[in-house]
Structure 1
Amino acid sequence: MRAADIMTTRIVSATPDMSVRQAAGTMVFAGISGMPVIDEDGKLLGIVTEGDLMHRAEIGTGVKHRAWWLELVASTRELASQYVKEHARRVGDVMSTDVTTVTETCPVADIAELLERKRIKRVPVVRDGKVVGVVSRANLIRALVTMAPELPVDADISDHSIREAVLAAMADHPWALARENVIVENGTVHLWTRVASEDEVNAIRVAAENAPGVKGVVTHIGPPAAVAPLD
Protein backbone atom coordinates (compact mmCIF):
# COMPACT_ATOMS: atom_id res chain seq x y z
CA MET A 1 0.00 0.00 0.00
CA ARG A 2 1.31 3.45 -0.93
CA ALA A 3 0.61 7.08 -0.03
CA ALA A 4 -1.59 7.49 -3.11
CA ASP A 5 -3.87 4.71 -1.83
CA ILE A 6 -4.78 6.37 1.45
CA MET A 7 -4.03 10.11 1.17
CA THR A 8 -6.65 12.83 1.48
CA THR A 9 -6.91 14.67 -1.84
CA ARG A 10 -9.45 17.31 -0.82
CA ILE A 11 -6.81 19.47 0.78
CA VAL A 12 -7.58 22.20 3.29
CA SER A 13 -4.74 24.69 2.92
CA ALA A 14 -3.60 28.18 3.82
CA THR A 15 -1.81 30.90 1.90
CA PRO A 16 1.12 32.89 3.30
CA ASP A 17 -0.99 36.08 3.30
CA MET A 18 -3.87 34.51 5.26
CA SER A 19 -4.34 36.00 8.71
CA VAL A 20 -3.41 33.94 11.73
CA ARG A 21 -6.95 34.29 13.03
CA GLN A 22 -8.43 33.05 9.76
CA ALA A 23 -6.03 30.11 9.72
CA ALA A 24 -7.05 29.19 13.25
CA GLY A 25 -10.71 29.35 12.29
CA THR A 26 -10.14 27.21 9.20
CA MET A 27 -8.51 24.48 11.25
CA VAL A 28 -11.23 24.57 13.89
CA PHE A 29 -14.14 24.31 11.44
CA ALA A 30 -12.39 21.69 9.30
CA GLY A 31 -11.60 19.61 12.38
CA ILE A 32 -7.87 19.42 11.59
CA SER A 33 -4.78 20.31 13.60
CA GLY A 34 -2.59 21.53 10.75
CA MET A 35 -2.55 22.35 7.05
CA PRO A 36 -0.05 23.00 4.28
CA VAL A 37 0.72 26.55 3.20
CA ILE A 38 0.80 26.86 -0.58
CA ASP A 39 1.21 29.63 -3.14
CA GLU A 40 -1.18 30.41 -6.00
CA ASP A 41 0.42 27.72 -8.15
CA GLY A 42 -0.03 25.01 -5.51
CA LYS A 43 3.65 24.92 -4.58
CA LEU A 44 4.37 23.97 -0.98
CA LEU A 45 5.82 26.80 1.09
CA GLY A 46 5.42 25.46 4.61
CA ILE A 47 2.95 24.06 7.11
CA VAL A 48 1.00 25.70 9.92
CA THR A 49 -0.15 23.64 12.88
CA GLU A 50 -1.78 24.09 16.25
CA GLY A 51 1.71 24.12 17.73
CA ASP A 52 2.59 27.21 15.68
CA LEU A 53 -0.45 29.02 17.09
CA MET A 54 -0.27 27.90 20.71
CA HIS A 55 1.71 30.85 22.06
CA ARG A 56 -0.06 34.06 21.06
CA ALA A 57 -0.07 37.49 22.66
CA GLU A 58 -3.78 38.04 21.88
CA ILE A 59 -4.93 35.28 24.22
CA GLY A 60 -2.22 35.64 26.83
CA THR A 61 -0.42 32.42 26.03
CA GLY A 62 2.88 33.96 25.02
CA VAL A 63 6.01 32.71 26.70
CA LYS A 64 6.32 34.35 30.11
CA HIS A 65 9.48 36.07 31.19
CA ARG A 66 12.18 33.46 31.41
CA ALA A 67 14.58 32.97 34.25
CA TRP A 68 17.59 35.24 33.84
CA TRP A 69 19.89 32.32 33.09
CA LEU A 70 17.60 31.10 30.30
CA GLU A 71 17.65 34.58 28.83
CA LEU A 72 21.43 34.42 28.78
CA VAL A 73 21.43 31.00 27.11
CA ALA A 74 18.85 31.93 24.46
CA SER A 75 20.30 33.62 21.41
CA THR A 76 19.03 36.90 20.05
CA ARG A 77 17.82 35.00 17.01
CA GLU A 78 15.76 32.61 19.15
CA LEU A 79 14.18 35.45 21.09
CA ALA A 80 13.35 37.32 17.89
CA SER A 81 11.80 34.20 16.37
CA GLN A 82 9.66 33.65 19.45
CA TYR A 83 8.45 37.25 19.30
CA VAL A 84 7.38 36.81 15.69
CA LYS A 85 5.50 33.60 16.53
CA GLU A 86 3.61 35.40 19.28
CA HIS A 87 2.80 38.67 17.49
CA ALA A 88 2.83 38.18 13.70
CA ARG A 89 -0.51 38.50 11.93
CA ARG A 90 0.23 36.54 8.73
CA VAL A 91 0.54 32.80 8.32
CA GLY A 92 3.73 33.28 6.34
CA ASP A 93 5.43 34.61 9.46
CA VAL A 94 4.41 31.82 11.83
CA MET A 95 4.43 28.74 9.60
CA SER A 96 7.14 26.08 9.80
CA THR A 97 9.24 25.98 6.64
CA ASP A 98 11.24 22.84 7.41
CA VAL A 99 8.54 20.51 6.09
CA THR A 100 8.86 16.75 5.73
CA THR A 101 7.18 15.48 2.56
CA VAL A 102 6.63 12.19 0.74
CA THR A 103 5.76 11.18 -2.81
CA GLU A 104 2.70 9.28 -3.98
CA THR A 105 4.69 6.05 -4.26
CA CYS A 106 5.98 6.12 -0.69
CA PRO A 107 5.05 2.88 1.15
CA VAL A 108 2.58 3.29 3.99
CA ALA A 109 4.96 1.51 6.37
CA ASP A 110 7.60 4.18 5.69
CA ILE A 111 5.08 6.95 6.34
CA ALA A 112 4.09 5.45 9.69
CA GLU A 113 7.75 5.22 10.70
CA LEU A 114 8.32 8.82 9.54
CA LEU A 115 5.41 10.21 11.55
CA GLU A 116 6.64 8.39 14.64
CA ARG A 117 10.29 9.39 14.24
CA LYS A 118 9.56 13.04 13.47
CA ARG A 119 6.75 13.20 16.05
CA ILE A 120 4.40 14.80 13.54
CA LYS A 121 0.74 14.12 12.82
CA ARG A 122 0.64 14.58 9.05
CA VAL A 123 2.85 14.75 5.99
CA PRO A 124 2.12 16.46 2.65
CA VAL A 125 2.30 14.35 -0.50
CA VAL A 126 3.99 16.26 -3.31
CA ARG A 127 4.43 15.85 -7.05
CA ASP A 128 6.86 18.20 -8.82
CA GLY A 129 6.89 20.45 -5.77
CA LYS A 130 3.10 20.79 -5.64
CA VAL A 131 0.85 19.36 -2.95
CA VAL A 132 -1.45 16.62 -4.26
CA GLY A 133 -2.54 15.15 -0.95
CA VAL A 134 -1.95 14.77 2.77
CA VAL A 135 -1.43 11.61 4.81
CA SER A 136 -2.28 11.92 8.49
CA ARG A 137 -2.36 9.51 11.37
CA ALA A 138 -6.12 9.32 10.83
CA ASN A 139 -5.55 8.09 7.26
CA LEU A 140 -3.35 5.29 8.60
CA ILE A 141 -6.02 4.27 11.08
CA ARG A 142 -8.67 4.23 8.34
CA ALA A 143 -6.40 2.02 6.25
CA LEU A 144 -6.12 -0.38 9.19
CA VAL A 145 -9.91 -0.60 9.46
CA THR A 146 -10.55 -1.15 5.75
CA MET A 147 -7.56 -3.28 4.77
CA ALA A 148 -6.95 -5.57 7.75
CA PRO A 149 -9.91 -7.96 8.20
CA GLU A 150 -9.93 -10.31 11.14
CA LEU A 151 -8.21 -13.62 10.45
CA PRO A 152 -10.79 -16.43 10.17
CA VAL A 153 -10.50 -19.46 12.39
CA ASP A 154 -10.06 -22.50 10.15
CA ALA A 155 -10.97 -25.69 11.96
CA ASP A 156 -9.38 -27.78 9.22
CA ILE A 157 -5.83 -26.60 9.95
CA SER A 158 -3.89 -29.26 11.82
CA ASP A 159 -2.16 -28.69 15.14
CA HIS A 160 1.14 -29.40 13.41
CA SER A 161 0.52 -26.67 10.81
CA ILE A 162 -0.51 -24.20 13.51
CA ARG A 163 2.64 -24.93 15.50
CA GLU A 164 4.84 -24.42 12.45
CA ALA A 165 3.10 -21.12 11.70
CA VAL A 166 3.61 -19.87 15.26
CA LEU A 167 7.29 -20.81 15.18
CA ALA A 168 7.69 -19.08 11.80
CA ALA A 169 6.05 -15.89 13.13
CA MET A 170 8.56 -15.77 16.00
CA ALA A 171 11.59 -16.74 13.91
CA ASP A 172 14.59 -14.38 14.00
CA HIS A 173 13.15 -12.32 16.88
CA PRO A 174 15.28 -12.12 20.04
CA TRP A 175 12.27 -12.96 22.20
CA ALA A 176 11.31 -16.10 20.24
CA LEU A 177 10.61 -19.29 22.15
CA ALA A 178 12.50 -22.52 21.58
CA ARG A 179 10.63 -25.07 19.51
CA GLU A 180 9.99 -27.35 22.45
CA ASN A 181 8.23 -24.53 24.33
CA VAL A 182 5.40 -24.24 21.80
CA ILE A 183 2.72 -26.91 22.16
CA VAL A 184 -0.56 -27.01 20.24
CA GLU A 185 -3.54 -29.12 21.22
CA ASN A 186 -6.90 -28.98 19.45
CA GLY A 187 -6.13 -25.56 18.00
CA THR A 188 -5.08 -24.02 21.32
CA VAL A 189 -1.48 -22.83 21.51
CA HIS A 190 0.33 -23.32 24.80
CA LEU A 191 3.41 -21.12 25.20
CA TRP A 192 5.91 -21.97 27.91
CA THR A 193 8.29 -19.19 28.87
CA ARG A 194 10.50 -18.48 31.84
CA VAL A 195 10.23 -15.17 33.67
CA ALA A 196 10.39 -12.41 31.06
CA SER A 197 9.25 -8.83 30.65
CA GLU A 198 5.60 -8.11 30.02
CA ASP A 199 6.47 -6.79 26.57
CA GLU A 200 8.21 -10.05 25.64
CA VAL A 201 5.29 -12.12 26.88
CA ASN A 202 2.88 -9.95 24.87
CA ALA A 203 5.00 -10.26 21.74
CA ILE A 204 5.02 -14.05 22.04
CA ARG A 205 1.25 -14.11 22.57
CA VAL A 206 0.53 -11.81 19.61
CA ALA A 207 2.73 -13.89 17.31
CA ALA A 208 0.71 -16.94 18.24
CA GLU A 209 -2.67 -15.20 17.94
CA ASN A 210 -1.91 -14.14 14.35
CA ALA A 211 -1.15 -17.66 13.14
CA PRO A 212 -3.88 -19.17 10.92
CA GLY A 213 -6.20 -21.64 12.63
CA VAL A 214 -5.44 -20.63 16.23
CA LYS A 215 -8.49 -20.97 18.47
CA GLY A 216 -6.86 -19.75 21.65
CA VAL A 217 -3.53 -18.95 23.30
CA VAL A 218 -2.47 -19.87 26.81
CA THR A 219 0.78 -18.47 28.21
CA HIS A 220 2.52 -20.37 30.99
CA ILE A 221 5.32 -18.84 33.03
CA GLY A 222 7.83 -21.50 34.07
CA PRO A 223 9.28 -24.73 32.63
CA PRO A 224 7.09 -26.63 30.13
CA ALA A 225 4.95 -29.49 31.29
CA ALA A 226 5.97 -33.01 30.41
CA VAL A 227 3.87 -33.11 27.27
CA ALA A 228 5.41 -34.06 23.96
CA PRO A 229 4.91 -31.45 21.26
CA LEU A 230 2.71 -32.51 18.40
CA ASP A 231 4.72 -32.85 15.20
Structure 2
Amino acid sequence: MQARDVMTSSVVCVTPDTTIHALALLLVQHRISAAPVVDENKHVIGMISEGDLLRRDEIGTEKKHVRSSWWLEMLGTDRGAGAYIKSHARTVGELMSREPVCVNEDASLADIATILETHHIKRVPVLRDGRLVGIVSRSNIVQALASALIAQPEPSAASDVEIRAMLMGELAGREWAFPGRNIVVQNGIVHLWGTVWSSDQLDAMRVAAEGIPAVKGVEDHTIPYPIMPGI
Protein backbone atom coordinates (compact mmCIF):
# COMPACT_ATOMS: atom_id res chain seq x y z
CA MET A 1 0.00 0.00 0.00
CA GLN A 2 1.07 3.56 -0.67
CA ALA A 3 0.52 6.93 0.96
CA ARG A 4 -2.29 7.78 -1.45
CA ASP A 5 -4.19 4.67 -0.31
CA VAL A 6 -4.44 5.65 3.35
CA MET A 7 -3.83 9.40 3.60
CA THR A 8 -6.32 11.91 4.93
CA SER A 9 -7.04 14.19 1.99
CA SER A 10 -9.00 16.94 3.74
CA VAL A 11 -6.02 18.45 5.55
CA VAL A 12 -6.46 21.36 7.93
CA CYS A 13 -3.48 23.60 7.29
CA VAL A 14 -2.35 27.05 8.34
CA THR A 15 -0.07 29.78 7.02
CA PRO A 16 2.90 31.47 8.71
CA ASP A 17 0.66 34.51 9.36
CA THR A 18 -1.97 32.49 11.26
CA THR A 19 -2.12 33.72 14.84
CA ILE A 20 -1.41 31.37 17.73
CA HIS A 21 -4.95 31.99 19.02
CA ALA A 22 -6.48 31.06 15.65
CA LEU A 23 -4.27 27.95 15.52
CA ALA A 24 -5.40 26.83 18.97
CA LEU A 25 -9.04 27.23 17.93
CA LEU A 26 -8.45 25.18 14.75
CA LEU A 27 -6.81 22.33 16.64
CA VAL A 28 -9.69 22.21 19.12
CA GLN A 29 -12.49 22.56 16.56
CA HIS A 30 -11.12 19.89 14.22
CA ARG A 31 -9.90 17.60 17.01
CA ILE A 32 -6.40 17.36 15.59
CA SER A 33 -3.04 17.67 17.29
CA ALA A 34 -0.99 19.29 14.52
CA ALA A 35 -1.21 21.04 11.17
CA PRO A 36 1.08 21.61 8.19
CA VAL A 37 2.14 25.16 7.48
CA VAL A 38 1.87 26.09 3.79
CA ASP A 39 2.71 29.06 1.59
CA GLU A 40 0.47 30.58 -1.07
CA ASN A 41 1.37 27.78 -3.52
CA LYS A 42 0.48 24.94 -1.12
CA HIS A 43 4.14 24.12 -0.55
CA VAL A 44 4.72 22.77 2.95
CA ILE A 45 7.17 25.02 4.77
CA GLY A 46 6.68 23.84 8.34
CA MET A 47 4.71 21.90 10.93
CA ILE A 48 3.02 23.15 14.07
CA SER A 49 1.62 20.95 16.85
CA GLU A 50 -0.11 21.19 20.19
CA GLY A 51 3.24 20.39 21.77
CA ASP A 52 4.45 23.79 20.57
CA LEU A 53 1.68 25.44 22.56
CA LEU A 54 2.30 23.91 25.97
CA ARG A 55 4.53 26.66 27.32
CA ARG A 56 2.52 29.87 26.99
CA ASP A 57 2.65 33.16 28.85
CA GLU A 58 -1.13 33.65 28.55
CA ILE A 59 -1.91 30.66 30.77
CA GLY A 60 1.11 30.76 33.05
CA THR A 61 2.82 27.64 31.72
CA GLU A 62 5.91 29.32 30.29
CA LYS A 63 9.22 27.77 31.25
CA LYS A 64 10.96 29.84 33.91
CA HIS A 65 14.46 30.91 33.02
CA VAL A 66 17.11 29.47 35.31
CA ARG A 67 20.41 31.27 35.26
CA SER A 68 23.02 29.05 33.62
CA SER A 69 26.71 28.76 34.39
CA TRP A 70 28.85 31.81 33.72
CA TRP A 71 30.72 30.20 30.83
CA LEU A 72 27.48 29.39 29.00
CA GLU A 73 26.36 32.95 29.57
CA MET A 74 29.65 34.16 28.10
CA LEU A 75 29.20 31.99 25.03
CA GLY A 76 25.62 33.13 24.66
CA THR A 77 24.45 29.57 24.13
CA ASP A 78 21.88 29.36 26.92
CA ARG A 79 19.89 32.46 27.65
CA GLY A 80 16.36 31.08 27.33
CA ALA A 81 15.73 32.69 23.96
CA GLY A 82 14.11 29.58 22.53
CA ALA A 83 11.84 29.16 25.54
CA TYR A 84 10.82 32.83 25.30
CA ILE A 85 9.83 32.40 21.66
CA LYS A 86 7.68 29.38 22.52
CA SER A 87 5.86 31.24 25.27
CA HIS A 88 5.45 34.63 23.55
CA ALA A 89 5.30 34.01 19.76
CA ARG A 90 2.22 35.57 18.18
CA THR A 91 2.16 33.83 14.80
CA VAL A 92 2.68 30.31 13.53
CA GLY A 93 5.69 31.40 11.46
CA GLU A 94 7.56 32.33 14.64
CA LEU A 95 6.90 29.00 16.30
CA MET A 96 6.68 26.32 13.61
CA SER A 97 9.19 23.55 13.04
CA ARG A 98 10.96 24.33 9.79
CA GLU A 99 12.14 21.94 7.05
CA PRO A 100 9.42 19.37 7.74
CA VAL A 101 9.78 15.76 6.65
CA CYS A 102 7.40 15.04 3.74
CA VAL A 103 6.70 12.09 1.43
CA ASN A 104 5.36 11.73 -2.08
CA GLU A 105 1.96 10.14 -2.62
CA ASP A 106 3.55 6.96 -3.98
CA ALA A 107 5.63 6.35 -0.84
CA SER A 108 5.10 2.87 0.60
CA LEU A 109 3.64 2.38 4.06
CA ALA A 110 6.84 0.59 5.02
CA ASP A 111 8.89 3.68 4.14
CA ILE A 112 6.46 5.95 5.98
CA ALA A 113 6.57 3.78 9.10
CA THR A 114 10.37 3.97 9.02
CA ILE A 115 10.24 7.77 8.70
CA LEU A 116 7.83 8.11 11.62
CA GLU A 117 10.05 5.92 13.81
CA THR A 118 13.35 7.46 12.75
CA HIS A 119 12.25 11.08 13.17
CA HIS A 120 10.07 10.43 16.24
CA ILE A 121 7.08 12.12 14.64
CA LYS A 122 3.39 11.21 14.55
CA ARG A 123 2.44 12.32 11.04
CA VAL A 124 3.94 13.24 7.69
CA PRO A 125 2.57 15.52 4.93
CA VAL A 126 1.99 13.92 1.52
CA LEU A 127 2.97 15.79 -1.64
CA ARG A 128 2.06 15.61 -5.31
CA ASP A 129 4.32 17.65 -7.59
CA GLY A 130 5.63 19.40 -4.49
CA ARG A 131 2.20 20.49 -3.24
CA LEU A 132 0.27 19.27 -0.22
CA VAL A 133 -2.44 16.71 -1.04
CA GLY A 134 -2.80 14.80 2.21
CA ILE A 135 -1.32 13.67 5.48
CA VAL A 136 -0.50 10.20 6.83
CA SER A 137 -0.50 9.70 10.59
CA ARG A 138 0.23 6.74 12.81
CA SER A 139 -3.51 6.21 13.16
CA ASN A 140 -3.86 5.95 9.36
CA ILE A 141 -1.35 3.11 9.34
CA VAL A 142 -3.15 1.36 12.20
CA GLN A 143 -6.43 1.76 10.29
CA ALA A 144 -4.83 0.13 7.25
CA LEU A 145 -3.76 -2.78 9.45
CA ALA A 146 -7.25 -3.11 10.92
CA SER A 147 -8.78 -3.11 7.44
CA ALA A 148 -6.36 -5.77 6.24
CA LEU A 149 -7.31 -8.04 9.13
CA ILE A 150 -11.10 -7.73 8.76
CA ALA A 151 -11.60 -10.34 6.05
CA GLN A 152 -8.87 -12.92 6.24
CA PRO A 153 -9.46 -15.92 3.94
CA GLU A 154 -10.09 -19.30 5.47
CA PRO A 155 -6.85 -21.24 5.80
CA SER A 156 -6.36 -23.55 2.88
CA ALA A 157 -5.61 -27.20 3.45
CA ALA A 158 -1.88 -27.82 3.40
CA SER A 159 0.19 -30.88 4.16
CA ASP A 160 2.71 -30.94 6.97
CA VAL A 161 5.48 -30.92 4.37
CA GLU A 162 4.03 -27.78 2.75
CA ILE A 163 3.60 -26.05 6.12
CA ARG A 164 7.23 -26.73 7.03
CA ALA A 165 8.41 -25.53 3.63
CA MET A 166 6.46 -22.28 4.02
CA LEU A 167 7.85 -21.73 7.51
CA MET A 168 11.41 -22.43 6.40
CA GLY A 169 10.95 -19.92 3.60
CA GLU A 170 9.74 -17.31 6.09
CA LEU A 171 12.76 -17.93 8.31
CA ALA A 172 15.34 -17.88 5.52
CA GLY A 173 17.98 -15.20 6.09
CA ARG A 174 16.75 -14.24 9.57
CA GLU A 175 19.62 -14.30 12.07
CA TRP A 176 17.39 -15.11 15.04
CA ALA A 177 15.99 -18.31 13.46
CA PHE A 178 16.97 -21.58 15.11
CA PRO A 179 20.38 -23.02 14.19
CA GLY A 180 19.74 -26.11 12.11
CA ARG A 181 16.01 -25.28 11.88
CA ASN A 182 14.92 -27.86 14.47
CA ILE A 183 11.31 -27.84 13.34
CA VAL A 184 8.93 -30.74 12.99
CA VAL A 185 5.34 -30.44 11.72
CA GLN A 186 2.78 -33.12 12.55
CA ASN A 187 -0.95 -32.87 11.88
CA GLY A 188 -0.68 -29.12 11.42
CA ILE A 189 1.14 -28.59 14.73
CA VAL A 190 4.60 -27.00 14.58
CA HIS A 191 7.02 -28.50 17.10
CA LEU A 192 10.04 -26.37 17.98
CA TRP A 193 13.14 -28.22 19.20
CA GLY A 194 16.72 -27.31 20.03
CA THR A 195 18.30 -24.51 22.05
CA VAL A 196 17.39 -20.83 22.16
CA TRP A 197 19.38 -17.78 23.23
CA SER A 198 16.46 -15.69 24.44
CA SER A 199 12.72 -15.55 24.97
CA ASP A 200 12.51 -13.03 22.12
CA GLN A 201 14.05 -15.58 19.77
CA LEU A 202 11.47 -18.17 20.82
CA ASP A 203 8.60 -15.68 20.58
CA ALA A 204 9.71 -14.65 17.08
CA MET A 205 9.73 -18.30 16.02
CA ARG A 206 6.25 -18.76 17.44
CA VAL A 207 4.95 -15.67 15.63
CA ALA A 208 6.47 -16.88 12.36
CA ALA A 209 4.87 -20.30 12.74
CA GLU A 210 1.46 -18.93 13.71
CA GLY A 211 1.59 -16.67 10.66
CA ILE A 212 1.32 -19.68 8.36
CA PRO A 213 -2.47 -19.93 7.67
CA ALA A 214 -2.69 -23.74 7.88
CA VAL A 215 -0.87 -24.02 11.23
CA LYS A 216 -3.14 -25.28 14.02
CA GLY A 217 -0.76 -24.66 16.90
CA VAL A 218 2.82 -24.44 18.12
CA GLU A 219 4.46 -26.71 20.68
CA ASP A 220 7.64 -25.60 22.43
CA HIS A 221 10.20 -28.28 23.28
CA THR A 222 13.23 -25.98 23.38
CA ILE A 223 15.82 -25.57 26.12
CA PRO A 224 17.90 -22.49 27.00
CA TYR A 225 21.32 -22.30 25.43
CA PRO A 226 23.94 -23.32 28.03
CA ILE A 227 26.01 -20.42 29.30
CA MET A 228 29.63 -21.18 30.07
CA PRO A 229 30.72 -20.40 33.66
CA GLY A 230 32.45 -17.07 33.98
CA ILE A 231 30.94 -15.61 30.81
TM over 0.5: yes
Shorter chain as normaliser: what TM range? 0.7 to 0.9
Structure 1 distance, partners of 2:28, 2:167, is: 47
Query: Hey, what does 2:9 align to over in structure 1?
Result: 9
The alignment partner of 2:125 has SS state of strand
CA RMSD of aligned residues (A): 2.2
Indicate yes or no: 2:188 matched with 1:153: no
Greater CA drift, 207-216 or 115-124: 207-216
What is the CA deviation profile of residues 64-111 of structure 1, one whole-angstrom value per residue up to 9, with x for unaligned ones?
233523992784587323211110111111111120011011111100
Q: 1:119 to 1:180 in 2, by over 3 A?
A: closer
Q: Is the 8 A contact 2:65 2:80 kept in 1?
A: no
Q: Is the 8 A contact 2:68 2:79 kept in 1?
A: no
Q: Is the 8 A contact 2:166 2:212 kept in 1?
A: yes
Q: Is the 8 A contact 2:55 2:63 kept in 1?
A: yes
Compute the TM-score of the two structures, normalised by the length of structure 2.
0.87
- What one-letter code is carried by the residue in structure 2 that aligns with 1:152? E
Aligned residues with identical type, % of pairs: 44
Correspondence 1:84-95 to 2 at 5 A: 84-95=85-96
Q: Which runs of 5+ in 2 are unaligned?
A: 225-231
Indicate yes or no: 2:44 matched with 1:44: yes
Indicate yes or no: 2:222 matched with 1:221: yes
Structure 2 distance, partners of 1:84, 1:25, is: 20
Q: CA deviation at 1:217?
A: 1.3
Correspondence 1:1-231 to 2 at 5 A: 1-66=1-66, 68-69=68-69, 72=72, 75-76=76-77, 79-148=80-149, 149-150=151-152, 152-154=154-156, 156-179=157-180, 181-222=182-223
- What one-letter code is carried by the residue in structure 2 that aligns with 1:181? N
Structure 2 distance, partners of 1:164, 1:62, is: 61
Q: Would you say how many aligned residue pairs link Structure 1 and Structure 2?
A: 222
Compute the TM-score of the two structures, normalised by the length of structure 1.
0.87
Q: 1:55 to 1:116 in 2, by over 3 A?
A: same
Q: Which runs of 5+ in 1 are unaligned?
A: 224-231
Q: 1:32 to 1:222 in 2, by over 3 A?
A: same
Q: CA deviation at 1:151?
A: 5.7
Q: 1:179 to 1:151 in 2, by over 3 A?
A: farther
The alignment partner of 1:68 has SS state of coil
Structure 2 distance, partners of 1:187, 1:179, is: 21
